[in-house]
Structure 1
């Protein structure tokens, strides 16, 4: 193993993005468990955590990874399709962020987001990522850029309320959703 043992940092851009995909898959699975148990508060927090992770992930892909993939592979159509899929996911994310934790539409909207993300991830991991690996892209340098931007976004977004127009937003003080009660 390498001597660099700072908390499981990915070695290249594809590994970093794949790790993000795995994290979101786990969050969706945990959401489903809570859906069956019926813990509304935890389920609502998980939905918002999914939205936060996906917002950061789509931002770093669109700002850094996709332009590099387009440049290195010349595959404009593949990148445009991925950006269109992000737009669909962002609409669902905005809808979820506007729902209260006990809203009956929450489960269905999270399920729609999960299906959209699973489709998108499948395409990226089977088409775009292999093409990126075969291209001349410096995936190590890209990884550093992605990681730096990701940390900046995590910092910026942790200071903002996650629920926009819901009644929970008024008492919310942190990204975890600790409402005054």
Structure 2
């Protein structure tokens, strides 16, 4: 069983791979673009939900004033992606040139966010939490993730 940070990093790698694959597609690959965008949206939704429901509150509550700033910034970055960039991308035809530009913006935002988490928040979380606590958080997050994936598949 992965601890909380290992679980989140593994999610990051998956989304990075999907975004890379999407950014390599051409205007003619409409179906592939739609499928990849749908997968990315689902992965991002599930990932941000487990972070915001379980990991972030634990981090915020265990940390200092500086850690709380990191928490609020991370939540805002999630909101920007989920409320602005992804909806715009979904409204854009995969055959339009604008689609590739919006994919690039999404990819850059996600990469920036992931880098901040992996270089600042996660090392700090390792200082704040013991191994046992990270395992317990990871277990809760894994269970919630399975639940969310089931809901997403039903809704699709």
Q: TM-score, normalised to structure 2's length?
A: 0.89
Structure having the higher Rg:
1
- More relative contact order in 1 or in 2 (CA 8 Å, sep 6+)? 2
Q: CA RMSD in A?
A: 1.6
Question: Gaps (5+ residues) in structure 1?
Answer: 1-8, 161-174, 176-181
Contact 1:69 1:132 in 2 (8 A): yes
Q: Counterparts of 2:13 and 2:154 in 1: how far apart (Å)? A: 25
2:44 to 22, 41, 54: 54
Q: CA deviation at 1:29?
A: 1.4
| Greater helix proportion | 2
Counterpart contact for 1:85–1:120, Cα < 8 Å: yes
Q: Is the 8 A contact 2:4 2:138 kept in 1?
A: yes
Q: String of CA shifts for 1:46-92, please: whole Å, max 9, x gaps.
A: 11211111111111111110001111223211100101111111121
Q: TM-score with structure 1 length normalisation?
A: 0.78
CA distance in 2 between counterparts of 1:15 and 1:109 reads 29
Q: Which residue of structure 1 aligns with residue 16 of structure 2?
A: 25
Q: In structure 2, what is the equivalent of residue 119 of structure 1?
A: 112
2:134 pairs, out of 123, 127, 139, with 139
* Count of residue pairs brought into register by the alignment: 151
CA distance in 2, matches of 1:129, 1:119: 14
